Amino acid sequence: MLLTINQLTKQFGGLSAVNDVSAVIEESKITAIIGPNGAGKSTFFNLISGFHQPTSGRIELSGQDITNMRAEHVARLGVGRTFQTTHLFEQATVLDNVMIGHRLRTKAGLFDAIFRTKRERDEKKKCLDKALEALEFVGLTSLAYEQAHSITQEQQKRVAFALALATDPKLVLLDEPAAGVNPDETEGLSEVMKKMVKHGKTVCLIEHKMPMVMSLADHILVLNHGELIADGTPKDIQKNERVIEAYLGG
Ligand code: ADP
Ligand code: MG
């Protein structure tokens, strides 16, 4: 198992945003996390990636306990992620966005994103190469020097993918990669996710667009009110009564 989650709970005050969830994420597969708004999906990602510390439970990455590790440390161990809303530096180029993001994800703070010494300039070169490679991977090479505000929503999602990929993760967490994207354009994003798997990555996405989830995912986890209510193949999930009720019952 690439990731093993054991009885994970996150409480915010009296609210259990994630409640006693146990699950595994298999290597080289696409796992989708679905569930109504407020189900705890993003919190689940925040726990895995070290942005939040769990109230209880355990998280293992390739057998290593990462439960209370800080986000930069988890990133360095091979977990990349995107956020539900993409915040790009609008006046900066697409390439600079990926480079800055790369630095922020691997180092402690913004101060480190400024390159001063010779060693830092060498680092910058490495960072540039990584960023260009990531942009090529997501099909954005031709837009590298465009300003971020001038690209489409779908292209912004690809930039977010490139940001997540620039740290060479083995596990990529994508929070609603197709949200706000025109339905005709989601296929291209699905293709990039499949390509990630072909290149040895494991993908876990949170997504509301069901046709996309059902055609893309090998495995689906369903959260509702913080609890894991179903876990199985797309086929299993589509006929699961608790899932149908969670969606239709409101
Ligand atoms: P989802 O991504 O499934 O829509 P979230 O994980 O964002 O759900 O939120 C789950 C629940 O936890 C919601 O009730 C939300 O209001 C709450 N929540 C999320 N983050 C915080 C936080 N930082 N502080 C307090 N409550 C939070
Ligand atoms: Mg969310």
- 11-20: which pairs have CB atoms within 8 A and are 24 or more residues apart? 11/55, 15/226, 16/225, 16/226, 17/43, 17/226, 18/43, 18/44, 18/47, 18/54, 18/223, 18/226, 19/225, 19/226, 19/227, 20/57, 20/227
| Helix H or strand E encompassing 2 | none
Q: How far is the CA of 17 from the centre of ligand 1 (A)?
A: 6
- Position 109 scores a pLDDT of 46
Q: What is 1-72+204-250's CATH topology?
A: Rossmann fold (3.40.50)
The pTM for the full model equals 0.92
Residue for token pair 């259990």: 16
Atom of ligand 1 nearest to the CA of 39: 3
Which tens digit of pLDDT belongs to each residue from 165-197?
Answer: 988 899 999 999 999 999 889 999 999 999 999
Give the closest ligand to the alpha carbon of residue 84: 2
For the cut 50, the answer to whether the pLDDT of residue 160 exceeds it is yes
Residue 181 CB-half CA count within 13 A: 27
What share of the chain has pLDDT > 90, as a percent? Answer: 81
When pLDDT is averaged across residues 113-131 and rounded to a whole number, the result is 76
Residue nearest to atom 23 of ligand 1 (CA): 12
For the cut 80, the answer to whether the pLDDT of residue 50 exceeds it is yes
| Helix H or strand E encompassing 93 | none
- Position 120 scores a pLDDT of 74
ipTM of predicted assembly, 2 dp: 0.98
- Position 113 scores a pLDDT of 55
Residue nearest to atom 16 of ligand 1 (CA): 38
Which tens digit of pLDDT belongs to each residue from 137-153?
Answer: 999 999 999 999 999 99
Q: How far is the CA of 163 from the centre of ligand 1 (A)?
A: 24
Q: How far is the CA of 44 from the centre of ligand 1 (A)?
A: 9
For the chain, the domains span 1-72+204-250
